[in-house]
Amino acid sequence: MIGRVALPCPVYLDIMFNNLYLYLQLIVTLILKKALMFKIIVFAILSLFSNILFADAVLQVRKVDDNVYALVGELSQRSKDNLANNSTHGVIVTDDGVILIDSGGSYLGAEHIHKVIQTITDKPIKIVINTGGQDHRWLGNEYYQKLGARIIASSYAQDDQKSRADSQMSRLDNLIGDSLKNTNPVFATETFDSIKPIELGKVKLELHYFGPAHTVGDIIAWMPNKRIMFAGDIVFNNRMLGIGPARNFQSWIDVFEKMASFKPSHIVPGHGDPSNLQEATKNTYQYLVFLKSKIAEILDKDGDMQDALKIDQSKYNYLKNHESIAGKNAQWVFQQMEFDY
């Protein structure tokens, strides 16, 4: 006689399968939690290494408007850590690619700018605009040229790039050392004299040259539909401007007035944070006019260079670097105005 196998009752089977389901759920949850924790740890490690590699070269991303950004660099001197990117750069993301305002102060600086842009968009860099001939406006050109980007500047800025390339490279070698490696001067390949319209991915820009400001070839890039002005070194925010290298403060005043006539809603400066026109006027234009009026008072009294150095500029002490540059600015303005008296 064959023995019978006793089968568990249906109620017991339900309980058993429910418990098994709960156990499986618990196991799956634990596995997923461990996987998530692993991803978090990996991300933290990668972020740590990224921060170590670019610990002091960080460019702060400031959103100006939809698809428009400012990359704000340090306000201090060029250094090995900041890769000569002690400057502010503009980024416009279009349907067809990215327009970059100013390529950085070195090859490595340009590469770092690109890495920051890649945190915003994966679109390629199609156009690079050099707003002037200062090193951090153009010495990263080669990096973007290799990516196939157009490189545009005023003809005056291109001449400035050519005339000062050797001295800028020599100075940067002293200031940033090994961070200058792979940097080769590549001049803007497209130039214009007064105005140049640009269009990419339905975004329209106007490039205007009005005369010397901080450098002889400084331009503005105007985005009319959003009333955004990329002012390059025509505007300094947060830090005190330097009259040189153009050393033509009256032209700078005139250029600022022409820029301001556009009545921009937002200004992306060459240094410091993006701002409105009122803030830019306070930090740049009013300071230039202040120096002009003070030097005029000295010259009216037959004063000399020593009197210029004694001008009380404390009302502008809120601007970074004032202690090292205020006196030089007074000297440069005095030298220029002295010949007109």
pLDDT tens sequence for the chain (341 residues)? 444 444 444 444 455 445 555 555 666 566 666 655 555 454 444 444 443 334 346 899 999 999 999 999 999 999 999 999 999 999 999 999 999 999 999 999 999 999 999 999 999 999 999 999 999 999 999 999 999 999 999 999 999 999 999 999 999 999 999 999 999 999 999 999 999 999 999 999 999 999 999 999 999 999 999 999 999 999 999 999 999 889 999 999 999 999 999 999 999 999 999 999 999 999 999 999 999 999 999 999 999 999 999 999 999 999 999 999 999 999 999 999 998 77
The span from the CA of 95 to the CA of 86, in Å, is 29
CATH number of 56-276: 3.60.15.10
- Collapsing DSSP states into helix, strand and coil, what is residue 19? helix
Task: Count CB neighbours of 247 within 10 A.
Answer: 17
For the entire predicted model, the pTM comes to 0.83
Nearest-angstrom CA–CA distance, 117 and 67: 11
Distance, in Å, from the CA atom of 57 to the CA atom of 239, rounded to the nearest integer, reads 18
Question: Is 76 strand, coil or helix?
Answer: coil
Q: Where are the domains of the chain?
A: 56-276
Q: Residue 214, CB half-sphere, CA atoms under 13 Å: how many?
A: 23
The per-residue pLDDT for 59 is 96
